[in-house]
Amino acid sequence: MRKKTKIIPIFIPHQGCPNDCIFCNQKKITGKGKHLDVYEIENDIKEFFSTIDVENYEVEIAFFGGSFTAIDIELQRSLLKIAYDYKSRKLVNRIRLSTRPDAIDYEILDILEDNGVDIIELGVQSLNDDVLLKINRGHTAEDTLRASSLIKERGFILGHQIMPGVYGSSPLNDIETAEKSIEMNPDIVRIYPALTIRDTKMEELYNDGSYNPPSLLKSIDVVAYIYSLYEVAGIKIIRVGLQATENINYDGDIVGGPFHPAYRQLVLTHIMTSSLVWMLKDCELDELTVACSKTMINSFAGINGRGKKDLIEKLDLVSVKFKEYHKENTVLLKFNDMEVVVETKKFFDYFIKTNKESGYVFEGDNY
């Protein structure tokens, strides 16, 4: 049985960032200020190990927040030395960091390799140069292509982080960013729908009407399509949406944008129910049983049973039942004395196909 993973997060808010992206306020997002104390970080890691039995978990040290490879080289080495010491003693399984695409070169990768780094996540955000310029990102799409190629070439695990719905983009631009990202073959991806955070330039644009973020429903439409593209490409999606915290919620520092504490669940329910309706639209049936894994049942049923209600309404059913089915990556549909086995991947295929046919997901002006 595979061990669960425990992550030791080390936040380096805004460290290494050469400019201020209009969407960013790392202090609000991470809940941390700019001060970075190496000794404090080392003590935090020691405290973490005093609270868990490492025999029962895989442990990962992850540097999040700023652009790790753009901070002072000696500070990089000091932080990595701490992490690598634990890895060399078999207490840590992996070291992960996030950074900017234009802060990757051969020298940097040598340092990361020498210090046991396994995973490099790039803050891609968009692969449209006009959008990157508007959000003051300070690099181009070509920088992401070059950095991704170097990272893959050196054998690191490559991650992409994209930001659909950001100022200056559009549904079509967001989808094209995902398609271009997939061409670079990242191993993992995070999808962070843009949120308007307090005390940012994007808040000013939102307040004066220059920025009109997508509604929650439109955002889910677009992200569901993007999610399906990555799934069909076999790229692991490790996060969708910012995690709700004391700051990251509408009572905290979010002033606009498609935030929901269970955003990924909404996306998956939309994909699964829409695809199932498309599959069965020409069938006459009163009752339907969907048998699948427990996780998949949650995706079909939806939050507060919304997915189940949609299936009943759109297929004109009397009832829908859900049962656990333990064949991996498979859904068993029972109706009209028939049983139909569908691979999970087919739901994502169908979602892409139906949206291409309708064209609705691609519509919309710049945000």
Read off the CATH number of the domain in which 204 is found: 3.20.20.70
Query: Coil, strand or helix: which one is 277?
Result: helix
Instruction: Mark which of 223, 245, 261 sits at the end of a domain.
Output: 261
Residues 274 and 257 in one domain: no
Instruction: Mark which of 261, 282, 307 sits at the end of a domain.
Output: 261
pLDDT of 247: 55
Instruction: Mark which of 212, 230, 261 sits at the end of a domain.
Output: 261
Locus of tokens 């935030």: 259
Phi and psi torsions of 345, nearest 5°: -55, -30
- Asked whether residue 95 is domain-assigned, the answer is yes
- Asked whether residue 367 is domain-assigned, the answer is no
- Asked whether residue 48 is domain-assigned, the answer is yes
- Asked whether residue 358 is domain-assigned, the answer is no
Mode of pairing for the β-strands spanning 330-335 and 287-292: antiparallel
Q: Report the length, in residues, of the chain.
A: 367
- Asked whether residue 357 is domain-assigned, the answer is no
DSSP state of 165: T
Residues 59 and 152 in one domain: yes
- Domain range for 312: 269-350
CATH at 312: 3.40.30
- Asked whether residue 362 is domain-assigned, the answer is no
Q: How far is CA 46 from CA 41, 92, 159, 219, in A?
A: 9, 12, 27, 41
pLDDT of 15: 63
Evaluate whether 174 touches 132 at the Cβ level (below 8 Å): no
Residues 193 and 302 in one domain: no
- Stretch (H or E) spanning 351: helix 344-358
DSSP string computed for 32-54: --S---HHHHHHHHHHHHTTS-G
Evaluate whether 69 touches 104 at the Cβ level (below 8 Å): yes
Number of compact structural domains in the chain:
2
pLDDT of 248: 59
Residues 11 and 129 in one domain: yes
* 66: nearest Cα among 105, 127, 3, 20: 20
DSSP state of 164: T
Evaluate whether 259 touches 334 at the Cβ level (below 8 Å): no
Residues 287 and 241 in one domain: no
pLDDT of 2: 73
Mode of pairing for the β-strands spanning 338-343 and 330-335: antiparallel
- Asked whether residue 365 is domain-assigned, the answer is no
In tens, the pLDDT along 75-121 reads 999 999 999 999 999 999 999 999 999 999 999 999 999 999 999 99
pLDDT of 31: 46
In tens, the pLDDT along 266-312 reads 999 999 999 999 999 999 999 999 999 999 999 999 999 999 999 99
**How many Å apart are CA 141 and CA 166, to the nearest integer?**
15
**How many Å apart are CA 200 and CA 206, to the nearest integer?**
10
Residues 224 and 297 in one domain: no
Residues 97 and 185 in one domain: yes
Residues 257 and 316 in one domain: no
Residues 58 and 181 in one domain: yes
pLDDT of 34: 53
**How many Å apart are CA 166 and CA 190, to the nearest integer?**
15
Residues 198 and 276 in one domain: no
Residues with Cβ < 8 Å from 278, sequence gap 6 or more?
A: 350, 354
Enumerate residue ranges in the chain where pLDDT < 70. Answer: 1, 13-16, 26-35, 244-251
**How many Å apart are CA 250 and CA 55, to the nearest integer?**
39
Residues 312 and 333 in one domain: yes
Q: How far is CA 246 from CA 28, 44, 249, 250, 272, in A?
A: 10, 21, 7, 10, 31
Residues 245 and 291 in one domain: no
- Asked whether residue 366 is domain-assigned, the answer is no
